[in-house]
A and B are shown apart, each in its own frame.
Chain A
Amino acid sequence: MVEAGRWRAPVLGAPRDFCCAGCEAVASTIAAAGFERYYETRSAPGQKPEELPALEALDDAAAQRQFAASAGPNERSATLILDRIRCPACLWLNERALRRLPGVLRADVNYATQRALVSWDPARTRLSDIVGAIRAVGYDAFPYDPQRQSAFDRDARRKALWQLFVAGFGAMQVMMYAFPAYVDEGVGTLSREAESLMRWASLLLTAPVIAFSCGPFFAGAWRELRRLHPGMDTPIALGIGAGFAASAWATVSGTGAVYFDSIAMLAFLLLGARYLELAVRQRAARSLDRLARWSPSFALRFDGATPKQVPIHELAAGDRILVPAGDRLPADGVVLEGCSGIDESLLTGEPVPLAKAPGSTVCAGTLNLEQPIVVRVERAGAQTRAAAIARLVERAAASKPRLVAAADRIAHALTYAVLAVALLAGLYWHDFWIAIAVLVAACPCALALASPVALTSAAGRLLGRGVAVTRGGALEGLAAATDIVLDKTGTLTAGRFAIARVQLLGEVAEDECFSLARALESSSRHPLARAFDSRDASAPVSGIANFAGQGVQAKAGGRRVRIGTEVFCRELVGAAPGLEFSDNVMTPVFLADERGWLAVFLLEDQPRETAGDAIDALRAAGLRVHLLSGDHPAAVAAVAARLGIEIRAGGASPQDKFDYVERLQREGRMVAMVGDGLNDTPVLARADASFAMGGGADAAQLQADFVLLGNSLGEIPRTFKLARLTMRIVRQNFGWALAYNTLALPLAAAGWIGPWEAAVGMAASSFIVVLNAMRVGAAGADGAGKESWKASSSSSPSPSPSYS
């Protein structure tokens, strides 16, 4: 059946409709890889995708440029969307299956995003073999593609909602039929026929709940059993399946008890918790996806004089492209023509547009706001900055923090314990329903469920504010930090100089010196020149000449004037200025003409605007703030005094910095380090958590747990706060889930908990854990939640979930 407009893709120059998403995807892949000739020459219609060995298309080099990146001559990596993942055990299975393949260098699977990050050696294996291995273990995978991901997400959500609804309505109605029997207990006014009628009606309504809504539990359990690796679906499926079978038998034979209502309710509550989890997981994954999702699919490339629309994967370095106002940039590059404002908030979280002129660099995924610009492509496809950041974040999301790995092991062990205890309790009591209650009540679902959601939500929110989390354990390390060590140059200061003092050396008035200096510096790109506000350069000067690293010379009023270093100006004057300027705090810039010295401007490296507030917030959070720099101690002291930092050290070599952090750690402190990420890699690696200033730098080369893409120091205290909140929630969840399981197991085994109480208890514990994890995504959109700093710094693992 072909439904017009539902699945449509351009093939052979015209939009075509397809019967299903699978066929459409196959046709699009064929078309995108340049194999459209197939449709002209084929003599029989194609097969449906499930029968089609479409894997070879993945190995095509043109197709791979879209989703795979080369990390070296012998390594390629790509992100694959995994289909049919249900639980952490599925991840484990896929990871093992992938890692066992020869030629696969790394494979990490993320539960929250349901994606695998795979690196392989192209000389030893092919991507089609990798996907083939995933299919062989009962799952499916396809290269990550934003459109495909949203269609996939939508279908998953619809299906989950439909299963939830069927279970919910079935449960409600079955409860109605069960009600007379509960009321009649011990009274005996209900006729046998009426009771039988109720039971048959319950059976009829519970059957779809079991067969359809509980499908995911059974499928999951089957996969777990086939691999002899029972996870959380096994006890659930066993409990529901056996409970339903026994109740159905009781209905048919007319003897024994029925528990249709308990089974349907359990299915409904469990599916409710899982639906919530799915929604949170998808939302978190979407925010992590923004970078990849928002790059356009077409670009306007100049082939000759006129721009022509081409698919984005045809772009290569050196192409000239036109970016109309209101469009997102399709690739990284340099502006050739036109000036415009560019909104880089996607990358940096900073909503103020930046002015770009010819020569400025622009990044893929940013939004051109004002004027059309012509851009020369430097990097395209998987090589762009946005793609590099996306890969960093992806890698972090795929790696498991220590806590999560520990929880997986405990959940796994608990599953065996639950199965064994259920069997023993059933045998001991000779009561089938006690065994079912144990299976259901003590299933370690809650334990396995909620920490990945909390961690991914946190990473997604941080990325939205321009902070990329690049390592799995980053939030864990940061939440525990007691000290924060800041670097000066490039971190607290950004090479933004301001005039602190002017000293006149000659007869010329201050105003005139300023206007001369402005006029001279107006042509210079030197960082020091920016201290002079050159916008109102009014003094008439001519013949401006730049001397790199020395200064600027020009003619004013018939005389040569120079601004720059002392040596540069002395050449003109012929004598020393007669004053010493070597306090090492400020940088002197001299102004002189042929007749003599005019003035000296003392410039000071300004702290970033956000530095003061950020440091106050960090101190308020109970952290000790250190300033550690390689600059002259006097300059460090000046900045420290200005920002109110008491613990400081100047003149520190990279080795000194490393020793400094190590010494703090030996004293039992947990150290977070903030640096520029390029020059202080060793000390950043040594610290328990590290931030790198990532604006402008090649993000992939930064060795830090967090990369501040917008260079905003204000995000550091907010990240701290979110890290602490996240880890507290994760610990609460673990505490709660473990406490629930250790309590429920003996109670159920002792026969004190009936099937319906087990169902409520188990589903409630899952719900509580998922709802608690949702707080990470909800707490104060501006980062200023209701949590108080003091409370968060003194919090300890608490076994009860709180909704403060």
Chain B
Amino acid sequence: MESLVLLVPLSVAVVFLIGWVFWRALQGGQFDDLDRPGVDVLSDDE
């Protein structure tokens, strides 16, 4: 039970960390076009 005192706050910190990573990806435009990458696989030219 005592481990919870450490693990629960840690999990909260991890959630915020993941949130920050996602925010960076979003602002970098990674999610702006969700259609093209799917079609890109089908085209041959590199």
A158 contacts across to B, CB distance below 8 A: 26-27, 31-32
- Report B1-43 residues with CB < 8 Å from chain A CB: 1, 4-5, 8-9, 11-12, 15, 18-19, 22-23, 26-27, 31-32
Which among B18, B19, B26 is the interface contact of A161 at CB below 8 angstroms?
B26
Do A165 and B1 form a contact, CB below 8 Å, given A197-B8, A205-B15? no
- Smallest CB separation, B40 vs chain A (Å): 19
Report whether B11 and A176 are in contact in the complex, using a CB–CB cutoff of 8 Å. yes
A170 contacts across to B, CB distance below 8 A: 15
B1 contacts across to A, CB distance below 8 A: 191, 194
Q: Does A154 contact B (CB under 8 A)?
A: yes
Q: Does A137 contact B (CB under 8 A)?
A: no
Q: Does A509 contact B (CB under 8 A)?
A: no
In the complex, number of A-B residue pairs with CB atoms less than 8 Å apart: 40
A161 contacts across to B, CB distance below 8 A: 26, 31
Contact string against B for A residues 170-209, beta-carbon threshold 8 Å, 1 for contact and 0 otherwise: 1001001100000000000001001001100100110000
Q: Does A752 contact B (CB under 8 A)?
A: no
Do A198 and B19 form a contact, CB below 8 Å, given A158-B26, A158-B27, A162-B26? no
Report whether B19 and A166 are in contact in the complex, using a CB–CB cutoff of 8 Å. yes
Give A339 to B16 CA distance when docked, in angstroms: 62
Q: Does A157 contact B (CB under 8 A)?
A: yes
- The DSSP consensus for interface residues of chain B is helix
- Smallest CB separation, B19 vs chain A (Å): 6
Give A158 to B31 CA distance when docked, in angstroms: 8
Q: Does A169 contact B (CB under 8 A)?
A: yes
Report whether B23 and A173 are in contact in the complex, using a CB–CB cutoff of 8 Å. no
- Smallest CB separation, A340 vs chain B (Å): 27
A194 contacts across to B, CB distance below 8 A: 1, 4
Report whether A165 and B8 are in contact in the complex, using a CB–CB cutoff of 8 Å. no
Report whether A197 and B5 are in contact in the complex, using a CB–CB cutoff of 8 Å. yes
Report whether B4 and A157 are in contact in the complex, using a CB–CB cutoff of 8 Å. no
- Smallest CB separation, B12 vs chain A (Å): 5
Do A165 and B15 form a contact, CB below 8 Å, given A197-B5, A198-B8, A201-B9? no
A165 contacts across to B, CB distance below 8 A: 19, 22, 26
Report the count of interface residues on A (CB-CB < 8 A): 19
What is the chain A residue whose CB lies nearest that of B23?
A: A162
Give A161 to B28 CA distance when docked, in angstroms: 13
Give A328 to B19 CA distance when docked, in angstroms: 43
Report whether B12 and A201 are in contact in the complex, using a CB–CB cutoff of 8 Å. yes
What is the chain A residue whose CB lies nearest that of B8?
A: A201
B11 contacts across to A, CB distance below 8 A: 173, 176, 201
B15 contacts across to A, CB distance below 8 A: 169-170, 173, 205
What is the chain B residue whose CB lies nearest that of A172?
A: B15
Give A191 to B4 CA distance when docked, in angstroms: 11
Give A158 to B27 CA distance when docked, in angstroms: 8
Give A161 to B22 CA distance when docked, in angstroms: 10
Which among B12, B22, B32 is the interface contact of A205 at CB below 8 angstroms?
B12
- Smallest CB separation, B44 vs chain A (Å): 22
Report whether B12 and A169 are in contact in the complex, using a CB–CB cutoff of 8 Å. no
What is the chain A residue whose CB lies nearest that of B9?
A: A201
- Smallest CB separation, B43 vs chain A (Å): 18
A176 contacts across to B, CB distance below 8 A: 11
B9 contacts across to A, CB distance below 8 A: 201
Give A198 to B22 CA distance when docked, in angstroms: 25
Give A154 to B29 CA distance when docked, in angstroms: 9
Report whether A154 and B32 are in contact in the complex, using a CB–CB cutoff of 8 Å. yes
A204 contacts across to B, CB distance below 8 A: 12
Give A158 to B22 CA distance when docked, in angstroms: 11
Do A197 and B4 form a contact, CB below 8 Å, given A170-B15, A204-B12, A205-B12? yes
- Smallest CB separation, B29 vs chain A (Å): 8
Report whether A177 and B32 are in contact in the complex, using a CB–CB cutoff of 8 Å. no
- Smallest CB separation, A286 vs chain B (Å): 11
Give A49 to B19 CA distance when docked, in angstroms: 31
Contact string against B for A residues 81-103, beta-carbon threshold 8 Å, 1 for contact and 0 otherwise: 00000000000000000000000
Give A157 to B29 CA distance when docked, in angstroms: 11
Closest 3 CB pairs of A and B: A201-B8, A173-B15, A165-B22
B residues lining the A interface (CB < 8 Å) = 1, 4-5, 8-9, 11-12, 15, 18-19, 22-23, 26-27, 31-32
